[in-house]
Amino acid sequence: MKKKVVIGMSGGVDSSVAAYLLQEQGYEVIGIMMKLSPDNPDYEENEGGCCSISAANDARRVADVLDIPFYVMNFKDVFKKNVIDNFIDEYMEGRTPNPCIVCNRTIKFDEFLRKARALGADYIATGHYAKVEKQDDRYVLKNAEDNKKDQTYALYGLTQDQLSRTLMPCGEYTKPEIRKIAEKIGLEVFKKRDSQEICFIPDNDHGNYIKKYSGRVIKPGDFVDKQGVVIGKHKGIVYYTIGQRKGLGIALGKPVFVNDINPITNQVIVGDEEDIFKTGLIAKDLNFILFDKLTSNLKVTAKIRYSAIPQSATLIPMENNRVKVVFDEKQRAITKGQSVVFYLENLVVGGGIIEKIL
């Protein structure tokens, strides 16, 4: 009897080919599109955006070609509660969240897995570029074959139970190989461009999104220098993030960068570029994959944002599910609210949310 796998289909080339690869491996495949974003007329017709009408049509056409069942499931309420509301709250507190990580943890590998189990599925699958393997008595998360597309940074929050029920067939291939497979089997999405924006913000303007849809009052405030001297006016802290240089709207005769954001005083602190290079951080809400708990110092490489190159660092365990991360060399624009993810060669050790910059 075939094992049953439910795959999240976005209408993109990765999840489409993942469904085909699983078929080829002998699984009974069911395609499901997760309807995540709240109703938004600006977004519903956004060509190619995940959850858009065109994306749903693309996914349905792929399912027809593969001759697999396809359904659209409504996750809008739980997505708003867990992802969008958190996104807004974090920006209002002067932090810069990563909604994809929150979505993976609370929706795609939690709520979706529960729904799949209710359908009698043995596994869920996604089009992520990462590898899940069993090593001794633990499931591990490994870098994808394609380093340029590797998505392990966004997946560090997966638990052992979730990893044991997850398949990611694209992790064994490069992106060009995935596109070639799609073209070979007659999927029109082989040439579809990758989505780059936050899925519920099609124009990538998070500040205006929060102003328009949050119902919160976005208060203008002061730009100040390191000494606290007022040097200009900002339009609201939700528009800024650590390390930002463009779009500040202040002219001081030299480039200045956002050094910090203070939600209590509603101030954005700016300074020279050298001021945003820091030696370390404290992370909270940790999840470890290679082991249950960090009990002693550990030398790793660490990424402080999705696009970063892993940098050599030392993990120092702390109380209350926190860890101190000390880098061998200063890092640029470590940002509260983002995630830091730890690696040992091609294995994900785990990660957490950046709480404090050192």
Domains 219-271 and 276-357 fall in the same CATH topology:
no
**Active site annotation includes 50:** no
- Residue 16 assigned ligand-binding role: no
Residue of 358, 357, 353, 356 lying closest to 97 (CA atoms): 353
- Residue 11 assigned ligand-binding role: yes
Superfamily of domain 4-191 in CATH is HUPs (3.40.50.620)
In the prediction, which pLDDT does 247 show? 80
Residue from 50, 100, 103, 170 carrying the catalytic annotation = 103
In the prediction, which pLDDT does 128 show? 96
- Residue 127 assigned ligand-binding role: yes
In the prediction, which pLDDT does 43 show? 53
Which class for 16: exposed (0-12), middle (13-18), buried (19 or more C-beta within 10 A)? buried
State the Rg of the chain over Cα.
21
- Residue 215 assigned ligand-binding role: no
- Residue 15 assigned ligand-binding role: yes
- Residue 318 assigned ligand-binding role: no
- Please determine, looking at this structure, whether the domain spanning 276-357 carries the CATH number 2.40.30.10: yes
In the prediction, which pLDDT does 205 show? 86
Strands, DSSP E only, in 48-155? 70-74, 123-125, 131-135, 138-142
**Active site annotation includes 103:** yes
Each residue's pLDDT, cut to its tens digit, for the chain (358 residues) gives 889 999 999 888 999 999 999 999 999 999 999 988 765 555 555 544 555 677 888 889 988 999 999 999 999 999 999 999 999 999 999 999 999 999 999 999 999 999 999 989 999 999 999 999 999 999 999 999 999 999 999 999 999 999 999 999 999 999 999 999 999 998 888 777 777 667 788 778 888 899 888 888 899 999 999 999 999 999 999 999 999 998 888 877 888 999 999 999 999 999 999 999 999 999 999 999 999 999 999 999 999 999 899 999 999 999 999 999 999 999 999 999 999 999 999 999 999 999 999 9
In the prediction, which pLDDT does 56 show? 80
- Other CB atoms closer than 10 Å to residue 171's CB: what's the count? 25
Residue extents of the structural domains in the chain: 4-191, 219-271, 276-357
In the prediction, which pLDDT does 48 show? 47
Superfamily of domain 219-271 in CATH is Adenine nucleotide alpha hydrolases-like domains (2.30.30.280)
